[in-house]
């Protein structure tokens, strides 16, 4: 939304001196690095009645300016602790740092306002000139045939089209002025000529809906906004929040594309609200009331396809789930609207996420009306299920105090459908969540997942899981969100759990957890083959289609050993429950029955860092053969967790010296490790008296599901310490035999044929 200074420029003539003042921006930026000792920009504007006092004037050194500018790019609003750290590091007083950031933000805002004003003035002058030419041509009509004066009433086709366009622009301007008059509280003259809509008005449109109708899908005249929807990724994220990359001239096609995105966002939001209503006819409850089935016929009757009809051979999955989460609505909305924070909140599900473009950052300093274009890769922890790569818009809207909605919908169907393996051809129909604040910092979250996808790329073993909605369904998002928020609440708590029989400091705990997070992330990338890490696929006919083998050369990544790394993963069905398999694999006393790293004996847990209420959600440090511990220079770092949708056991051998640095609070980025582990999923088959089809068993990690399970085994090993070495068939056979032997040992220990 424009401030008064911006809107006041509408209708004025272009000020040529303003361009000269723009050249002074560099001087003003430098002046932001000069400070009066103890005086902010506001304090300097004292009244006449204040006594004059001498102010000491300080100019920061080039090094101080460089450091402050670098920090400003990352964090324009540092907190007290960050300002104190900066003042100590740069040899400045805390108030000098505070006033520098205040002045720098003021200058940044001024520069942006000036730039937008100049663009508006130029566009306004351009339209005025065109309007004048049209008036002159209409006042002196010329016959196209003879060149003489035209008879009144005879107007060429081109002039007729110009008149229509001019009338449309006037209507558009009047509508915009009405919106601004209503929501800015300031009367805005519509003038006599059309103008281009400032880009920030898109947030106003999205925050209140087209024509002031809230979330209605009733669409008005297309807005003159542009967005490049090429075949590739649009580029990196913008450096400053709220600043969109330059999209060039706003032609008719670009205007239409951006207007279509706004229309699509409003329609998707309306569909999300209807599909998440408690007693919606779109959902049919089972006889026991534990499961909801999507009503495809009712959906087709109520909604027109907002992104086109379903492609041939695609199947549809739609699920919804409601849960109570220990996070407030504002924090969750901010997490969902930031690609990096979104991926960190759902690490086992989001392999990669990028903000491609920001159309609107919202209105009134909030996320209400925020609209952005994103790219994401959604994964299921198995090599037999392709990664879902999707490009979509994400739209956020506040519907009441403490009630927010965030919706996604695909925008580049042709691009997604053209993807080859390992990505699945799919499209994301309106999906998202409704977040409502609850007492004591909790939120009630209703999640909706709605996909169309090509089932032919999915292995037969996992088709029941996906068709039941368990694989990528809403309950999986809710379960992951609950587990992650519970973990964050425990980590932020000042009290230490009684299960944490360790003397680690808070810094040591954080470093250990960060190392475990990187270990699990690398394990997921080795299993799912997303683009988060660079892997080269190996196609070896003797291994069959169930085994995925990949390789990568590491030269300069300190997080893993240098050389050739081989990753192999496969999935098998187990006729035992997920809970039983998980308990067996995470038990350090039974580890010798399947792990060759145990040296044939039980392992001892040396460190235990709880990440949830259940004992299985933790990061542990294991030591093999406790009797000969002094002779061992290798420990096992292990992370285990279980929620209502998935169970994971990931581990990696790490040398003692590196772990000592991490446990002391040191940087974990330089600890080299290669993860291996297991992911256990329900098999998706319904049993009598079991709700395993919709994933409602084992809420919070407890309970017992009676169905079978799908076990994924993944290993990453260093086959040669020289990055230039060649991969041999013997190395591939070795890791293949290791996986096969491990699976057989697990089946034998669980007495599975």
Residue 293 β-bridge partners: 284
Number of domains in the chain: 3
Verify that 402 and 435 share a domain, yes or no: yes
Verify that 511 and 446 share a domain, yes or no: no
337 lies in some domain: yes
Verify that 482 and 512 share a domain, yes or no: no
691 lies in some domain: no
180 lies in some domain: no
Give the side-chain half-sphere CA count within 13 A for 22: 13
Verify that 606 and 675 share a domain, yes or no: yes
Q: Is 623 strand, coil or helix?
A: strand
- Last residue of one domain, picked from the residues 490, 514, 530: 490
- pLDDT given for residue 491 in this prediction: 81
Q: CA 711, 695, 376, 438 torsion: positive or negative? A: negative
- pLDDT given for residue 717 in this prediction: 92
Query: Rounded to the nearest 5°, which phi and psi values hold at 313?
Result: 75, 0
Q: Which domain holds residue 365?
A: 258-413+424-490
302 lies in some domain: yes
pLDDT beneath 50, residues of the chain: 1-34, 36-51, 54, 183-186, 189-201, 204, 208, 210-251, 413-421, 498, 629, 687-704
- Last residue of one domain, picked from the residues 113, 137, 152: 113
Verify that 539 and 606 share a domain, yes or no: yes
354 lies in some domain: yes
- pLDDT given for residue 127 in this prediction: 87
Verify that 392 and 332 share a domain, yes or no: yes
664 lies in some domain: yes
Q: CA 4, 178, 258, 250 torsion: positive or negative? A: negative
* Residue 629 near residue 623 (C-beta atoms within 8 A): yes
CATH of the domain at 108: 1.10.10.60
Closest CA to 316 of 195, 472, 197: 472
CATH of the domain at 477: 3.30.530.20
Verify that 614 and 486 share a domain, yes or no: no
Tokens describing residue 494:
């000042």
Verify that 534 and 625 share a domain, yes or no: yes
Cα–Cα distances in Å, from 531 out to 53, 377, 389, 562? 62, 8, 10, 20
Verify that 553 and 448 share a domain, yes or no: no
- pLDDT given for residue 7 in this prediction: 36
Verify that 630 and 745 share a domain, yes or no: yes
Residues 480-514, buried b or exposed e (16+ Cβ, 10 A)? Answer: bbbbbbbbeebeeeeebeeeeebebeeebbbbbbe
Verify that 406 and 538 share a domain, yes or no: no
- pLDDT given for residue 316 in this prediction: 93
- pLDDT given for residue 735 in this prediction: 87
742 lies in some domain: yes
Verify that 305 and 347 share a domain, yes or no: yes
- Last residue of one domain, picked from the residues 490, 518, 540: 490
* Gap between the Cα atoms of 307 and 318, Å rounded: 16
Looking at residue 265, what DSSP letter applies?
H
701 lies in some domain: no
């Amino acid at each position: 939304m424009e401030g008064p200074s911006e809107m006041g420029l509408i209708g004025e003539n272009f000020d040529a001196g303003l361009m000269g003042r723009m050249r002074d921006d560099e001087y003003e930026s430098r002046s932001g690095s000069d400070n009066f000792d103890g005086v902010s920009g506001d304090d300097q504007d004292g009244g006449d009645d204040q006594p004059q006092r001498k102010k000491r004037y300080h100019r920061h050194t080039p090094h101080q300016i460089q450091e402050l500018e670098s920090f400003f790019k990352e964090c324009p609003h540092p907190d007290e602790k960050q300002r104190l750290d900066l003042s100590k590091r740069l040899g400045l007083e805390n108030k000098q740092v505070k006033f520098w950031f205040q002045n720098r933000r003021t200058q940044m805002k001024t520069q942006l306002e000036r730039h937008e004003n100049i663009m508006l003035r130029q566009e306004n002058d351009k339209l005025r000139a065109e309007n004048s030419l049209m008036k002159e041509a209409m006042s002196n009509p010329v016959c196209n045939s003879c060149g003489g004066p035209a008879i009144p009433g005879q107007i060429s086709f081109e002039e007729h089209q110009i008149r229509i366009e001019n009338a449309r622009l006037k209507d558009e301007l009047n509508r915009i002025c009405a919106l601004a008059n209503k929501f800015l509280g300031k009367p805005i003259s519509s003038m006599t000529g059309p103008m281009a809509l400032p880009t920030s008005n898109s947030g106003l449109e999205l925050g209140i809906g087209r024509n002031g109708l809230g979330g209605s899908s009733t669409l008005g005249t297309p807005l003159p906004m542009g967005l490049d929807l090429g075949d590739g990724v649009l580029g990196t994220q913008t450096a400053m929040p709220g600043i969109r990359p330059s999209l060039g001239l706003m032609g008719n096609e670009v205007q239409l594309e951006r207007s279509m995105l706004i229309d699509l966002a409003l329609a998707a939001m309306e569909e999300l609200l209807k599909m998440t209503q408690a007693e919606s006819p779109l959902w049919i409850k089972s006889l026991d009331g534990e499961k909801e089935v999507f009503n495809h016929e009712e959906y087709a009757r109520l909604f027109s396809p907002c992104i086109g009809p379903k492609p041939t051979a695609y199947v549809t999955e739609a699920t919804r789930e409601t849960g109570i989460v220990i996070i407030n609505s504002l924090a969750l909305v901010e997490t969902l609207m930031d690609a990096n924070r979104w991926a960190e909140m759902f690490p086992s599900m989001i392999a990669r996420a990028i903000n491609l473009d920001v159309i609107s950052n919202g209105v009134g300093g909030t996320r209400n009306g925020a609209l952005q274009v994103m790219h994401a890769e959604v994964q299921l922890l198995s090599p037999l299920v392709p990664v879902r790569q999707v490009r979509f818009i994400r739209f956020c809207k506040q519907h009441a105090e403490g009630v927010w909605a965030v919706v996604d919908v695909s925008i580049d169907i042709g691009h997604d459908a053209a993807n080859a393996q390992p990505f699945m051809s799919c499209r994301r129909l309106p999906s998202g969540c409704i977040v409502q604040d609850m007492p004591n910092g909790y939120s009630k979250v209703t999640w909706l997942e709605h996909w169309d996808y090509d089932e032919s790329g999915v292995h037969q073993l996992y088709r029941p899981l996906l068709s039941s909605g368990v694989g990528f369904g809403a309950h999986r998002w809710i379960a992951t969100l609950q587990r992650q928020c519970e973990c964050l609440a425990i980590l932020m708590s000042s009290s230490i759990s009684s299960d944490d029989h360790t003397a680690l400091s808070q810094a040591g705990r954080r470093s250990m957890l960060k190392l475990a997070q990187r270990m699990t992330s690398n394990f997921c990338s080795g299993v799912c083959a997303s683009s988060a890490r660079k892997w080269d696929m190996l196609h070896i006919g003797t291994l069959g289609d169930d085994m995925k083998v990949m390789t990568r050369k590491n030269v300069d990544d300190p997080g893993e050993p240098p050389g050739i790394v081989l990753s192999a993963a496969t999935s098998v069905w187990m006729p035992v429950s997920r809970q039983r398999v998980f308990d067996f694999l995470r038990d350090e006393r039974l580890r010798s029955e399947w792990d060759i790293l145990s040296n044939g004996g039980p392992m001892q847990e040396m460190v235990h860092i709880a990440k949830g209420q259940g004992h299985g959600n933790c990061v542990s440090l294991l030591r093999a053969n406790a009797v000969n511990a002094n002779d061992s220079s290798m420990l096992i770092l292990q992370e285990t967790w279980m929620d209502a949708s998935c169970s994971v056991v990931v581990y990696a051998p790490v040398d003692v010296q590196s772990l000592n640095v991490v446990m002391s609070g040191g940087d974990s980025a330089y600890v080299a490790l290669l993860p291996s582990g297991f992911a256990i999923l329900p098999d998706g088959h319904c049993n009598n008296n079991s709700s395993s089809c919709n994933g409602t068993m084992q809420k919070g990690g407890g309970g017992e599901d009676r169905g079978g399970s799908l076990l994924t085994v993944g290993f990453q090993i260093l086959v040669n310490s020289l990055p230039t070495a060649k991969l041999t068939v013997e190395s591939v056979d070795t890791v293949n035999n290791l996986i096969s032997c491990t699976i057989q040992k697990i089946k034998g220990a669980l007495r599975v044929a």
